[in-house]
Structure 1
């Protein structure tokens, strides 16, 4: 594995950090679900179900415990008999088919009783530091009923219906990091198994998938009695956990510039390392071709009704055809195969296709890539502090570097400031409104860093270059957040979106997909420009089948007929 270090260059933030490209990212080896699965398999985690007390109406409680080398974590699940008119994926819902918490350790009966009075209430309840996450899920009703009916009658469900939906339940929120009383991130950040971002939440979803499989089989036994059968393992494996994600997630990548930078930089570093390879072995080239073929199968069953995604999927399928034609004439063994492939993709494929290629070329190289996952957390507390001694000239230079595209834009033009982000009074959730049609401007959140950078840059004109920025901020404290972000850019070159987050054309789903791709989500299905459905863990082995051989490439399933 020979590399040419001189050619190891990450792509420019001006290329990577455009919303259209961020909205085309795919999962990769660094995605958080895959990191967790590799960890659990490598460390031979043990899984048990100490409690499954569900009645014939599908109501009750269950506990699933995952035990690693040093600690145990337990998903506590509460199943409910939800009436159809109460089922909603909206954040304003007040009842769900199932509710969950991830408990730090093994709960006592008293813990479960306490949580039974709070977890089903979600935001209206309270959990405490022994809980690491809070979540809820709703059934995909038609598929649920089909699977229960099929298993109850002694037959397997229709695979085409399984693939069309992909999940029996979808979560509508998975909260962690201190929300509603849960443990703060700092409590678990130094644990090796949870040091990579969102590992507790990903474990919660993984165990939720096991509970959903067990629950649907339980309901089939209730309905069919001795005639009922369980899901065939290959069919069960095709089922993931769905997720409905709305605007609440979109501001996250704006509000966490250093953390998001670390995610993007790790991926870009991985791509650069692979592109710097002078040659590829026969085995590495074969691995890439195999994964591409399996990815094609996954893309073939990826459907959406949203016009934007329909167009992107059409382009992606054309990209696959063009990629296969390219590979027919390139054995990927000659000089700099991956750099040449990525250069060709940049010239010939859509952003969807380019980012798929960027993810796939990482697959043959776990030794080059996987360790970067441990660089994706944000432990740089100093980055948040403003350096008041920095000269005005240097701050202006930093603003120009991160926001050069925005400084000449006319921010008074209605199309450039058409939207405003605010927080809803009812649910304290982010919302995006029409600035000129709704009385929301006085409630606007600082989620337009480009506009604010242009305003700060203009305000700095006339200030002496050598003056400390603290003098300016004493007179203009409204620009503190912009100066902070500009100074952060020294350690976070990928921390800023290079697009207008309040324009009349902004698509929040691009921000949602960027974050969800790092979770490891697949089959993005926007339902509007403001919320998206995805699938998680489809194809993943269940705990009883998890091995070091199958813990990783399940995300590219070998579809069975």
Structure 2
């Protein structure tokens, strides 16, 4: 930290409250930050000098067959084992009901033998229908974005770069429709890898899988172009290669995770909010950081211009965001607005008072970005091994206080209204995937998942009002065992106030999309492209360095990328000093 920087003694004065942060409308406006898990992984790859190698490529002239891509960390090797095949057009779908895919993958723990390859060849293409072992850490599948994939192959085969407008409109060559880990379908349990340094941060194995899939897709297109065009063929230029991300189609499957892991979610949010508070509490800015921010507004304007979606709601929000960024740039041109004590707090307050949630959350990312030396240590606090436990020694009076304080949002909902209990969460019988049903329309209400947090707290509070404070919680739970699970959750929220979504998840107006975007932003996803209130497409690793670029000084300068230019996010966290 610069000697010119002065921090207020108590940064908590600048912390946003759980009541502000954990509301669905703000959660559904989230953007990735430099603490997002992809950024954390890329920094580790570079810092530890991970080695990447394509060890096998045994495919026919159409690219169908086996590929193996390996990465060696300081302590071990991981191998992406991929299988590609031709699939009929009428069987191509990103939905969970799909039975065939263009490419299927396992992340193998180590270097696979031929026996391992043969085993995976019999199982990986079947995905859920296969059988997996603890040597398999993740299971994934992906489909081509056909227009972009074909254009890229055809163009490169003729010695030309692909259509940049077409590539920008999609952002990737292939998109995954699932990346499973943590014991699903027989893959290794989380416990196997939890103590490995490279796996301690959230979802690092799954995101390593995606990073290798990105490399595989770019490599595959270049190899197919070479097969088709021979000596005329060229590879992607470096700018285009780095711009290409990996797509993902994400639905309800990940939404319940946020509700089932409250201690973990608290740590994620506290890290982000602490980073923001640290920056807002700077009285005199670190040299160069304000200039970086002003330049970043130019880049993010171009990034938003390239963010085109069909969804009417999100399209309108993007249009408004475009206007707001321009208005903020004009406000910043008055130097007296920003070159003053506590400039970051002043910028944030101005945006909070005048602009949309979408703009507010983007500015949170932008003002955190140039402060890596101040905030990057928080990435080490975002994991958790805590399992909330029932605390029988809490007094009933204390429990009532916590409910009244932390769950006012729930106790004031009128659950007698149909619109307050319009939806319910359940598992589908065929795919064992979460579903979001409507009462009176969808079957399955008798199999409802225990995700009705607001309703359960409301019912608990109603009963608590008629119970004397001197009764022990143990006695109360014996009399009312149906409340044991929600009491445990309330006790967790008392200790971890950012763990709870402070909205009614059963409401008629509830959009699961908000939960998805919140979680995906922590992953590092961008270009949210809603296809309904239930699922979205996204880009992952767009702008990220390729394996051969990880040693470059600007390896961490890839947020909010734009097409057709070298990734040039203005940065003072490394030696590149690039500018827009």
Pairwise TM-score range, normalised by the shorter structure: over 0.9
Q: CA deviation at 1:155?
A: 1.4
Q: CA deviation at 1:556?
A: 3.0
Pairing 1:273-292 to 2, within 5 Å after superposition: 273-292=278-297
- 3-state secondary structure, aligned to 1:304: coil
Report the equivalent of 2:416.
Answer: 412
Q: CA deviation at 1:293?
A: 2.2
Count of residues in correspondence between the two structures = 559
User: Structure 2 CA distance, aligned partners of 1:8 and 1:389?
Assistant: 30
User: Structure 2 CA distance, aligned partners of 1:482 and 1:525?
Assistant: 34
Report the equivalent of 1:495.
Answer: 499
Report the equivalent of 2:140.
Answer: 135
- 3-state secondary structure, aligned to 1:201: helix
Choose from 75, 91, 96 the match for 1:86.
91
Pairing 1:129-278 to 2, within 5 Å after superposition: 129-278=134-283
Pairing 1:6-405 to 2, within 5 Å after superposition: 6-9=10-13, 10-330=15-335, 332-381=338-387, 384-405=388-409
Are 1:419 and 1:435, in contact at CA under 8 Å, matched by a contact in 2? yes
User: Structure 1 CA distance, aligned partners of 2:549 and 2:393?
Assistant: 58
Pairing 1:448-459 to 2, within 5 Å after superposition: 448-459=452-463
When structure 1 is superposed on structure 2, of 18-27 and 434-443 the one drifting more is 434-443
Q: CA deviation at 1:544?
A: 1.2
Q: CA deviation at 1:401?
A: 2.3
Are 1:287 and 1:363, in contact at CA under 8 Å, matched by a contact in 2? no
Deviations along 1:191-222, whole A, 9 cap, x unmatched?
Answer: 11111101111111011011001111222223
Are 1:169 and 1:212, in contact at CA under 8 Å, matched by a contact in 2? yes
Are 2:164 and 2:564, in contact at CA under 8 Å, matched by a contact in 1? no
- 3-state secondary structure, aligned to 1:262: helix
- 3-state secondary structure, aligned to 1:325: helix
When structure 1 is superposed on structure 2, of 168-177 and 246-255 the one drifting more is 246-255
Q: CA deviation at 1:558?
A: 5.2
Deviations along 1:280-319, whole A, 9 cap, x unmatched?
Answer: 1341112222333222221110011101101210121121
Q: CA deviation at 1:8?
A: 3.4
* Corresponding position: 1:551 with 2:527: no
Structure 1, unmatched stretches of 5+, are none
User: Structure 1 CA distance, aligned partners of 2:142 and 2:517?
Assistant: 20
User: Structure 1 CA distance, aligned partners of 2:552 and 2:42?
Assistant: 9
When structure 1 is superposed on structure 2, of 170-179 and 99-108 the one drifting more is 99-108
Deviations along 1:389-432, whole A, 9 cap, x unmatched?
Answer: 21111112222222102212210201111011111001000101
Are 2:240 and 2:563, in contact at CA under 8 Å, matched by a contact in 1? no
User: Structure 2 CA distance, aligned partners of 1:202 and 1:103?
Assistant: 14
Deviations along 1:144-181, whole A, 9 cap, x unmatched?
Answer: 11111112222111111110110110000011111111
Are 1:242 and 1:536, in contact at CA under 8 Å, matched by a contact in 2? yes
Are 1:19 and 1:499, in contact at CA under 8 Å, matched by a contact in 2? yes
Are 1:282 and 1:333, in contact at CA under 8 Å, matched by a contact in 2? no
Are 2:249 and 2:536, in contact at CA under 8 Å, matched by a contact in 1? yes
Structure 1 pair 271–523 and aligned structure 2 pair: CA distance change class (3 A): same
Q: CA deviation at 1:20?
A: 0.4
When structure 1 is superposed on structure 2, of 145-154 and 196-205 the one drifting more is 145-154
User: Structure 2 CA distance, aligned partners of 1:355 and 1:408?
Assistant: 27
* Corresponding position: 1:531 with 2:540: no
- 3-state secondary structure, aligned to 1:35: helix
Choose from 518, 523, 528 the match for 1:514.
518
Report the equivalent of 2:568.
Answer: none
- 3-state secondary structure, aligned to 2:471: coil
User: Structure 1 CA distance, aligned partners of 2:156 and 2:193?
Assistant: 41
User: Structure 1 CA distance, aligned partners of 2:382 and 2:552?
Assistant: 23
Q: CA deviation at 1:548?
A: 5.0
CA RMSD after TM alignment: 1.3
Q: Given the two structures, how large is their TM-score scaled by the length of structure 1?
A: 0.97
Q: CA deviation at 1:491?
A: 2.5
When structure 1 is superposed on structure 2, of 68-77 and 222-231 the one drifting more is 222-231
- 3-state secondary structure, aligned to 1:490: helix
User: Structure 1 CA distance, aligned partners of 2:448 and 2:286?
Assistant: 54
Structure 1 pair 126–414 and aligned structure 2 pair: CA distance change class (3 A): same
Structure 2, unmatched stretches of 5+, are 566-580
User: Structure 1 CA distance, aligned partners of 2:404 and 2:259?
Assistant: 18
Are 2:94 and 2:249, in contact at CA under 8 Å, matched by a contact in 1? yes
* Corresponding position: 1:422 with 2:426: yes
Q: Given the two structures, how large is their TM-score scaled by the length of structure 2?
A: 0.94
User: Structure 2 CA distance, aligned partners of 1:439 and 1:114?
Assistant: 39
